[in-house]
Chains A and B, each alone.
Chain A
Amino acid sequence: MSTITQPTPTAARRQQNGLTSQQIRAGIGGVIAVGGLVLMVANQMNVIFLLVGLLLGLLVWKPFHGILVAYSIISVYPVLRIVSISLRPSTGLLSRSLDIIPAGATLQSYNNLFNEEPFLQWVWNSLSITVTVSIIGVAVAATGAYAFSRWRFFGRRPALIFLLTTQMIPAGMLVIPIFVIVAQLGLANQIIGLVLAYISTAVPFSIWILKGYYDTIPPDLEEAAMVDGCNRMEAFWRIILPLSTPALSIVFLFNFLAAWSEFIVAKVILTAQSVMTWPLGLNQLIGTFQTDWGKYAAGSVLVTVPVLLLFMWQSKYLISGLTLGSVKS
């Protein structure tokens, strides 16, 4: 772990000097914060001045925390705004207020969403598509990536470059052909059609990540198992897969996140109300001929919160997942 700040003789001395400059900075920071308060009072209790004052004060006092707090606000505020809009009463949807808890806050929008829209059905459709894609994607990629990692076979390099190339295909390029294929299979407007279309895009990226992870597992492990009488597949099944659980769960998560909010392909393949996924449903709520911003915001909150929690909970895993294969162990 990081030990850049471990006290060495020079650093220790600097820390001693820093104590006084720290106090000076704290003083200046405090003055700025109070200045913000004064300006707020002078400007009809405009809270923005106080907040800006507090932030500038913190920046002077503890610059690192100041920067991180400022950036956290930039990251979070737009999200809080969605929550705020979902709580607005229907008569005040287009309001200029910056309050996070709006005046007259109500859960009416959530109520309307459940009573007027087949919202749960959308979520259910998305969920079943997403889980299916993730399971099949991981299963198919797990063995494929193993082949890329352990064998030097004919066509390996071009195949790996092709996998990267698939990332470069403009989305608009595949929509029409994919629809035509899905329709010719008789799967237009079927959940299965979308599942098949998603799997093809999920597999290349999954292989990339998994191959990177397998590369970090020493081949000696399987060889030892094979000496003990396992065949290659048994060694893969008993040794490699259990060791790769973190990577497999990351791949599952990536595929899940990508499919969960996909919009452009879904829009073309699924048109019937009964098979709509939530991105299509929410998009319908803000379509040209009707605007129920409150219902839209309520739906957004409901589909986003689980993903956010999952993401934060798994964020350590995700980091290691993305850097797999890049960092030598």
Chain B
Amino acid sequence: MQGIGGLTGDIVLNTLGQIIPLIIGVVVGVVVLEFLLYNLLAKTLKVKNALAYTLLAPAAIAILAFMLYPLFFNVLLAFSDLKRTTFPCYSPIARGECQLDHLYGLDYAVKNFSDVFFRVRDGEIIGWGRLLRTADSTFPVLLGRTVLWTVVNVIFHFSGGLALALIMNQKIRFRGIYRALIVIPWALPGVITALTWKQEFHAEYGFVNTLLQGIGLQPVGWLRDATAAFVAVTFVNIWLGIPFYMVMLLGGLQSISAEYYEAAQMDGAGAWHRFRFITMPLLRPILIPAVTLDVIWTFNKLDLIVIMTGGGPEEKTNILVSALYNAAFGTAATQQLGFAAAFSIVIFFILFLFAIVWITTSGGLKEIYDR
């Protein structure tokens, strides 16, 4: 290997040769595009709000190309019969006979979506369909575990973050130091967090069991026993999420004017009353978006589970998204990409439904799009 750490001048130049033209190209491209588009919209077509559309165009193109098109592709896959044995039909280069008379169709979609929920044999439903290889990987079990996972995490994130924020909002010495230390889990790269905790929950060599044994307790087979493994990943995710809330809520607390509290104190309101009737309502504008984002992120927390437990042991620590990942890419991959695409759409809709219900009932995001 030449150069220390494998870095040579050639590599640096080569990379720069790729990214500098890219940056210049994008910036120049954006300017040219906006110029042309504005002329077209405002001068030729005389569209109202032409400048707004012009300004949005670059972002819209980026999102269309790499967000909407993949989503569309995914829907298309759900309408296909793509699996190991039909692979040559769909791949432009694979060799082999294609046995299918049509590549995409409603019949495939019906089968793919019903496979997510049911096990169908000869047109009859004979039970819940297995998404992976055990009876613990059926849709209702996974959904239940996902809800449990999300609720437990969000509750602990919120209460832990709020408690820390309330304490930190006091006039307390070393506040800056405490805050710097407490945000560390949030700042750690996710891969490193997951791999490190995986090692630390090792029954023989991790510090968790060493500590337990140090104070005279029995060691626990954290990643070997299904329940313990679920507790372990939940703990790590709580550890990860508390700093986010602490930071958000502390910012909110600090923006509440002291006058409110003084007035309340004049009226003889106790600490609980001040918390209940001043702090909480005034934190609401921060809390609602924070909880919304947290629910979405927790529900979709893939890397932590995949790296720490891989969904095991006995497939008992999977939530919906990790089951999807394992079904599409994992050791128990069924290699039915059509089915996996349908499964991912189902997950997406569950979350989407939640978001719609939550946003309309809480009204917390209203100001974000109404202002």
- The listed residue with most A CB atoms (<10 A of its CB), out of B62, B171, B207, is B62
C-alpha spacing A176/B72, complex, angstroms = 12
C-alpha spacing A51/B262, complex, angstroms = 40
Total A-B residue contacts, Cβ distance less than 8 Å? 343
Q: State whether the Cβ of B296 lies closer than 8 Å to any Cβ in chain A.
A: yes
Report whether over half of chain A's contact residues are helix, strand or loop; otherwise say mixed.
helix
Interface residues of A in 83-118 (CB under 8 A from B): 94-96, 98, 113-115, 117-118
C-alpha spacing A286/B173, complex, angstroms = 42
Interface of B toward A, CB cutoff 8 Å: 1, 3-7, 11-12, 15-16, 18-19, 22-23, 26-27, 30, 34, 48-49, 51-53, 55-56, 58-60, 62-63, 65-67, 69-71, 73-74, 77, 163-164, 167-174, 178-192, 195-197, 199-200, 204-205, 207, 210-211, 214-215, 239, 243, 247-248, 250-255, 258, 261-262, 265, 285-286, 289, 292-293, 296-297, 299-300, 302-303, 320-321, 324-325, 328-329, 337, 340-341, 344-345, 347-348, 351-352, 355, 365, 368-369, 371
Interface of A toward B, CB cutoff 8 Å: 1-6, 8, 10, 46, 48-49, 52, 64-65, 67-68, 71-72, 74-79, 81-82, 94-96, 98, 113-115, 117-125, 128-129, 131-132, 135-136, 139-141, 143-144, 146-148, 150-151, 153-154, 156-157, 159-161, 164-178, 180-181, 190-192, 195-197, 199-201, 203-204, 207-208, 211-212, 215, 232-233, 257, 260-261, 263-264, 274, 279, 282-283, 286, 293, 296, 300, 303-304, 307-308, 311-312, 315, 318-320, 322-323, 325-328
Q: Is the CB of B251 within 8 A of A323?
A: yes
Q: In the A-B complex, list the 4 residue pairs whose CB atoms are closest, starting with the nearest.
A: A118-B6, A120-B5, A200-B66, A261-B189
B189 to chain A, nearest CB (A): 3
New A-B contacts (5) at CB < 8 Å, excluding given A115-B4, A164-B355: A120-B6, A151-B49, A169-B67, A200-B66, A326-B289
C-alpha spacing A157/B337, complex, angstroms = 34
Residues of B within 8 A of A76 (CB): 181, 184
A327 to chain B, nearest CB (A): 5
A256 to chain B, nearest CB (A): 12
Residues of A within 8 A of B195 (CB): 282-283, 286, 296, 300
- The listed residue with most A CB atoms (<10 A of its CB), out of B48, B170, B184, B243, is B184
Residues of A within 8 A of B55 (CB): 143-144, 146-147
Partner of A140, one of B30, B258, B371: B30
